[in-house]
Amino acid sequence: MTTEFVLALDQGTTSSRAIVFDRAGTVRGLGQREFRQHYPRPGWVEHDATEIWHSQLDVAREALRNAGASAADIAAIGITNQRETTLIWERATGRPLARAIVWQDRRTAPLCEQLQADGHGEFLQERTGLVVDAYFSGTKLAWLLDHVPKARQMAERGELAFGTIDTWLIWQLTGGAVHSTDPSNASRTMLYDIRRQDWSDEILELLNIPRGILPTIAPSSGEVGRSLPELLGGAIPIAGVAGDQQAATFGQACFKPGMAKNTYGTGCFMLMNVGGEPVRSANNLLSTVGWGLTDGGADWRSTYMLEGGVFQAGAAVQWLRDGLGIIQHSEDVEPLAASVADTDDVFMVPAFAGLGAPYWDPYARGTLIGLTRGTTRAHIARATLESIALQSAELLTCMNADSGIALSELRVDGGASRNDLLMQMQADLLGVPVVRPRVAESTARGAAGLAGLAVGFWKSLDEFAGQWEAERTFEPSWPAELREARMARWRQAVALSKGWASDAPRG
């Protein structure tokens, strides 16, 4: 029997999605369902892991129905997931001991500050490629073990399992038979030595985490188990796993060093392929594993990335809509911004929750600068759009410096990549073409690709990459002098936003 499709499970921060792809890489069926966000205290964000599992199973069944497919038609399942979100559960029952702590959660910031104060920051960054921040899973797991009743004792007796969301879905799909993750997700825990490609015993000791609670690490492309027949109507190989941003980079076919993609969503995540060795950033970017692929044996070779994150991108446009009320719908921002030729020297720094890379300033706050009596809501709208492109351009400048590779084009995806004005701004500020693909579902496409390659659905990386097609290319139109002047003015605006919420004296 010939299988015709691959099923991608795309478990995100606010919704669970499932997409069926055919051999040409075309979407044949889709399902999506939102789930609840829990905010028990200021700075805390939690998810109900059981609700996530049920929503993901429901949309998988829906996608199969919409594709007119059965389990017998599916060659493999690929999983991609919100990264860093952390949970623990009982091995015997599969019952979570607490809600999952979401990647956005800041409750472990004091522990991170203590680690830095105790002089561990350099060691942790050298081992993991990450800055010490509450964003990552390691301190979240330590917090759960210390604060959930009986968790530490159970963990030390080998009764608990830890996982990020990929691991949780694999466990559920296999009925608890497989406790596994992949190198891309492992590299986001702050517990993983990215050079040795294994959990770091030194970091586990530092954070007082028993090694037995951790999942095994398997390649990003390769069968790790099979789904229980009663879940989807048959036993389907689970053969691809990657964190969402790495999966999107794979889906964009960024397979050669120097290739990069930027995802424009609530925030922006830019990843650049730097090859087979990690690059230590001199500009406060993250070094992370993109994916681990085998040569047919048990071992894998990792492809490494430099990553920079913009905390507020689409969220800044949502603020124009919900906070200021100057637009009714997010899509209204493009025609409003296009109604003026420029921002009239107005700059928006959307540091509503601090600044990410390369500044990592949690005390920065949102700033509108350059306002005059001639400023209109159109100028503010244009400055907000431009802030997304400016933040991303700054990240790319850092990546070029760290990697020693000059980018030739930027591949883009995410909801805001549909905004033509924003994409043209991005090309002008980067000085390189910005390329939007025909298939916008880059994250799910990457998960499908990893799974399909593992089972021979696609024969090679070249075949998979050959299915990637550009829908539109935005060519840069600015001279270098204008681009550099605009970036310099942006940095002036950023300097004014920094440190605002700190108690430190300000000059």
Q: Both tokens of residue 488? A: 């310099």
Q: Is 415 annotated as a binding residue?
A: yes
* 42 assigned to some structural domain: no
Using one digit for the tens of pLDDT, what is the confidence trace for 42-52?
Answer: 778 899 999 99
Are 226 and 174 in contact by the 8 Å Cβ rule? The answer is: yes
Residue 38 counted as domain residue: no
Please give the structure tokens belonging to residue 381. 């709208």
Number of domains in the chain: 1
pLDDT tens, residue by residue, 51-94:
999 999 999 999 999 999 999 999 999 999 999 999 999 999 99
Residues 265/416, Cβ–Cβ less than 8 Å: yes
Domain coverage including residue 213: 84-163+183-217
- Largest CA-CA distance found in the chain, in angstroms, rounded: 73
Can you give the pLDDT at residue 507?
44
For 467-494, write each residue's pLDDT tens digit. 999 999 999 999 999 999 999 999 999 9
Say whether 201 sits in a helix, a strand or coil. Answer: helix
- Residue 415 included in any domain: no
Is 83 annotated in a binding site? The answer is yes
Q: Starting at the edge strand that comes first in sequence, how are the strands of the sheet with 15-22 ordered?
A: 27-34, 15-22, 5-11, 74-81, 237-243, 221-226
- Cis, peptide link before residue 358, omega less than 30° from 0: yes
Judged by phi (left if over 0) then psi (alpha if -120 to 50, else beta), residue 437 lies in beta
Residue 84 annotated as lining a ligand binding site: yes
Cβ(447)–Cβ(221) below 8 Å: no
318 is in an annotated binding site: yes
Instruction: Report whether 159 contacts 91 (CB < 8 A).
Output: yes
> Which amino acid is present at 108?
T
Asked whether residue 15 is marked as a ligand-binding residue, the answer is yes
For the chain, percent of residues with pLDDT exceeding 90:
75
Q: Which pLDDT value is given to residue 298? A: 60
**Dist. CA 290–CA 304, nearest whole Å:** 5
pTM here is 0.89
Asked if 73 and 105 count as a contact pair (C-beta separation under 8 A), the reply is no
Beta strand pairing call for 27-34 and 268-275: unpaired
Q: CB–CB of 202/310 below 8 Å?
A: no
pLDDT in tens, 404-430: 888 889 999 988 899 999 999 999 999
Report pLDDT for 506.
46
In a domain, 224, yes or no: no
CB atoms inside a 10 Å sphere around CB 278: 19
What pairing do the DSSP bridges indicate for beta strands 260-264 and 268-275? antiparallel
Question: Any residues with CB less than 8 A from the CB of 207 and at least 6 apart, and which?
Answer: 138, 139, 141, 142, 191
Let me know if residue 388 belongs to a domain.
Answer: no
Q: How many residues does the chain have?
A: 507
Cα-based angle 174, 186, 263 (whole degrees, multiple of 5)? 100
The pLDDT of residue 2: 63
Comparing 112-126, 197-211, 248-262, 304-318, which segment has the lowest mean pLDDT?
304-318
For 41, residues 6+ apart whose C-beta sits below 8 A from its C-beta are 107
- Other Cβ atoms less than 10 A from the Cβ of 198: the count is 12
Q: Is residue 13 marked as binding? A: yes
Residue 437, SS3 per DSSP: strand
Residue 6: which of 413, 442, 441, 447 has the closest Cα? 447
- Residue 199, in any domain of the structure: yes
Q: What is the CA radius of gyration of the chain?
A: 22
Asked if residue 54 lies in contact with residue 33, where contact means CB atoms within 8 angstroms, the answer is no
| Domain annotation covers residue 255 | no
314 is in an annotated binding site: yes
135 is known to lie in a ligand binding site: yes
Contact indicator for 310, 389 with CB cutoff of 8 Å? no
Chain-wide mean pLDDT for the chain? 92
Q: Is residue 203 part of a domain?
A: yes
Residue 118 belongs to domain with CATH number: 3.30.420.40
Q: List the alpha helices (DSSP H) in 148-196.
A: 151-156, 165-173, 183-186
